[in-house]
Structure 1
Amino acid sequence: MTLRTRLRSIFAAPEEMDLTTGDIGWPLLVLSLPIVVTNLFQTAYNLADTFWLGQYGTGALAAISFAFPLVFLVISLGMGVSVAGSVLVAQHTGADERRQAEYAASQTMTFALLVSGLLGIVGYFLVEELLGLLGASASVLPMATRYMEVVLLGMPFMFGFFVFVALMRGYGDTVTPMLVMFGSVVLNIAIDPFLIFGWTVVENAPLVGTVAFPEMGIEGAAVATVFSRSLALLVGLWIMLRGGRGVRIHLRDMVPDLSYLRRLATIGLPASIEGTGRALSMNLLLVIVALFPETVVAAYGIGTRVFSVVFLPAIAVARGVETMTGQNVGAGEPARAERATTLAATVLFGVLTAAGVVIWVAAAPIADLFTTDPAVVDSAAQFLRYVALSFGFIGIMRAYTGSFRGAGETLTAAAISVLMLGVIRFPIAWFAAPILGPSGIWVAFAVSNVLGALIAYAWYRRGTWREGDASTAVPVDTEASMGGD
């Protein structure tokens, strides 16, 4: 394959690339590269908020340090629906079952919107109490609450777009979500400063003094994110309803099917447990972080935002492995799925270790990008240096858990995540923080990263994932319930 042909294949339609035969490395790269870019755009939402709110004040920066983990928790509770839909679409696509893939996608979108709407409503009425439980101080709590209230009301739009990305990925199309995300992120970054700081016309009479945008502070960042994501979801729904690229959904297939909900829950519940475990870990760690001054809380927020950028390759390749494993298990080629996973784990370890060395060296200048407070910079730089050299192990763990999910072994992926975060990271931080101060929390991150990789590798070598999960199979009579094409 020539270089020109390879470059063109990145933007080829998914049906033009067979993930179940031929080369392994290039298809995995073609799947993963757009996901890296998509996740980079996704992270740009958070980074834009972190940057502008850092200029707005340390209090606002501390507030989103509490808000972001709580947003992640709410999304994680419904994450299983999107993971189940992605796995089902991938396995049906690999087995050349187009109608079943379309039905899975349609039902997934329906229940995703319903579940996220319910979670948003419940969360809206409990958000202040939840933030208080996490240890938000009296000065931070009102700002964090206002931010979360806007986000929770927009949860169906935000979560709906995540599901669009997951369904297209399961089919093998990672480019289309990347392009939609790009437009959404550009819009968000463009309106973020205007909504946060406000904008009053000071020239060009007779408009002098006219308030074009009111100063909304932290609420403005939330409004910008929800508005941008809402437009992205509408575009995503239009793409899937047209069916010109990627998996197609049908309105007739979107009528809630409770029997199919049970199938989604069987696969998706462990994935929700995994995501919720990650989110609970972040939130429980905040309880420990909140015992320290506001500068440490802000540093924790900066550090986790930086990690979200560094880990983009790991998350993206894991999603690519998930799709390749799903399609190859569906096609009866588990050995090919294993080769792809091993390759991904090896490459990610090398790439993220190199990135960790760079972060270790440049920790202070990186932290300085987000705040003008020297105390916050010092604390954030210390956080980054403690964790940076363990980055490669995150890549190993992500590759193997991605393969577990693709094979339908979502419970195994969840168990590994819970062990890493709940049994290793949180207890270490809990006992070490009173002795070592904030350094005890940073040490907990590094140790759990290494042990999580070792656990994932050992579990994967047992080979229990090879047979896949029988619960992902669609019974023959389901075709009748789809109503034909």
Structure 2
Amino acid sequence: MGATGQTGVAGDLREFFLTSLPAIFTQILVPVTAVFTTFLLARYGPDAVAAYGVASRIETLALVGISAIGMAMTPFVAQNFGAGKHGRIDEAIVFAGKASLVIGLCLFVILAFAGSYVAKIFTKDPGVIEFVSLYFKVVAFSYGFQGLVNVTVAVFNGLQTPLTALKLMFVRSALIVFPALVIGSIFGPLWILIALCAANILAAGYAHHLMIASARQWRHTRVISNSVRNISKTFRKRVKR
């Protein structure tokens, strides 16, 4: 293999690792947050830990739709970004954001009322069932906002800016979620759940900030800003109903 070929392979490997490693670390931060939450809840006994385990399993199944939106966004954005069809990307961001908020709101309504019944499928312990029900009445409110973060991460990966996606998830975990959970743990299990819900909402706000900053970079500020406003407007309308 000549020097030109070796240079080409080295360049390809560099591009591969620059894209893949940030994406890998981004995915690692999600279970790390769950482990940290379990660690804090362990202070309040085995029932709290067991309830969080049950709630997490139900949550994983419930968020399949929102997760699917995020997974679909990355290849869609990458394809249209490469083709120079930025208008389609803007439309997809609006659709994905609205869909995440609507699905999240529907999940909140369903799980807030039916969470205890779903929990009975996994356990018969009344203490665990009560905590699972409380979990969904608090944390499920933020599912739509969590979906917005997922969509934003997917968009940045699709735009070939995985470091920005990693920055978003790092700030969400290390600077928003972890401190909020620590403060909440001082006051009790309920406040841990409130902190988790509030952190998801704050993280969505930071995702909004990064999206606007990215829009300025690509000279699409007006379109994406309108997209975010449309998402917020739709969410307010849904809540009023």
TM-score normalized with structure 2 length: 0.81
Query: What is the CA distance between 1:461 and its match in structure 2?
Result: 2.0
* Aligned counterpart, 1:291: 43
Q: Separation in 1 of the partners of 2:103 and 2:38?
A: 29
Return the match for 2:23 from 271, 275, 282: 271
Q: Separation in 2 of the partners of 1:384 and 1:455?
A: 24
* Aligned counterpart, 1:91: none
Structure richer in helix, relative to its length: 2
Q: Does 1:354 align with 2:125?
A: no
Query: Bigger radius of gyration, 1 or 2?
Result: 1
Q: How does 1:64-463 map to 2 (within 5 A)?
A: 260-435=12-187, 437-462=188-213, 463=215
Q: Is the 2:172–2:203 Cα contact (8 Å) retained in structure 1?
A: yes
Q: Separation in 1 of the partners of 2:36 and 2:108?
A: 25
Query: What is the CA distance between 1:315 and its match in structure 2?
Result: 1.2
Q: Which amino acid aligns with 2:189?
A: P
Deviations 1:239-265 (A, max 9, x none): xxxxxxxxxxxxxxxxxx665332211
Partner of 2:160, secondary structure, is coil
Q: Is the 1:428–1:440 Cα contact (8 Å) retained in structure 2?
A: no
Q: Separation in 1 of the partners of 2:175 and 2:23?
A: 18
Q: Separation in 2 of the partners of 1:412 and 1:389?
A: 26
* Aligned counterpart, 1:481: none
Q: Separation in 2 of the partners of 1:379 and 1:355?
A: 18
Query: What is the CA distance between 1:464 and its match in structure 2?
Result: 5.5
Q: Separation in 2 of the partners of 1:412 and 1:364?
A: 39
Quickly say closer, same or farther: Cα 1:289–1:283, change in 2 above 3 A.
same
Q: Separation in 2 of the partners of 1:424 and 1:455?
A: 10
Partner of 2:99, secondary structure, is helix
Deviations 1:70-115 (A, max 9, x none): xxxxxxxxxxxxxxxxxxxxxxxxxxxxxxxxxxxxxxxxxxxxxx
Which blocks of at least 5 consecutive residues in structure 1 are unaligned? 1-256, 468-485
Q: Is the 1:432–1:440 Cα contact (8 Å) retained in structure 2?
A: yes
Q: Which amino acid aligns with 1:409?
A: T
Partner of 1:362, secondary structure, is helix
Deviations 1:436-465 (A, max 9, x none): x11122112200111111111221122167
Q: Separation in 2 of the partners of 1:414 and 1:318?
A: 15
Query: What is the CA distance between 1:279 and its match in structure 2?
Result: 2.3
Partner of 1:377, secondary structure, is helix
Q: Which amino acid aligns with 2:202?
A: L
Query: What is the CA distance between 1:371 and its match in structure 2?
Result: 0.6
Partner of 2:168, secondary structure, is helix
Q: Is the 2:111–2:136 Cα contact (8 Å) retained in structure 1?
A: yes
Q: Separation in 1 of the partners of 2:61 and 2:126?
A: 23
* Aligned counterpart, 1:159: none
Deviations 1:34-75 (A, max 9, x none): xxxxxxxxxxxxxxxxxxxxxxxxxxxxxxxxxxxxxxxxxx
Q: Separation in 2 of the partners of 1:294 and 1:286?
A: 10
Q: Is the 1:360–1:385 Cα contact (8 Å) retained in structure 2?
A: yes
Q: Which amino acid aligns with 1:421?
A: S
Higher relative contact order (CA 8 A, sep 6+): 2
- Give identity over the alignment, percent: 24
Q: Separation in 1 of the partners of 2:38 and 2:99?
A: 32
Quickly say closer, same or farther: Cα 1:465–1:365, change in 2 above 3 A.
farther
Quickly say closer, same or farther: Cα 1:272–1:465, change in 2 above 3 A.
farther
Q: How many residue pairs end up in the alignment?
A: 210
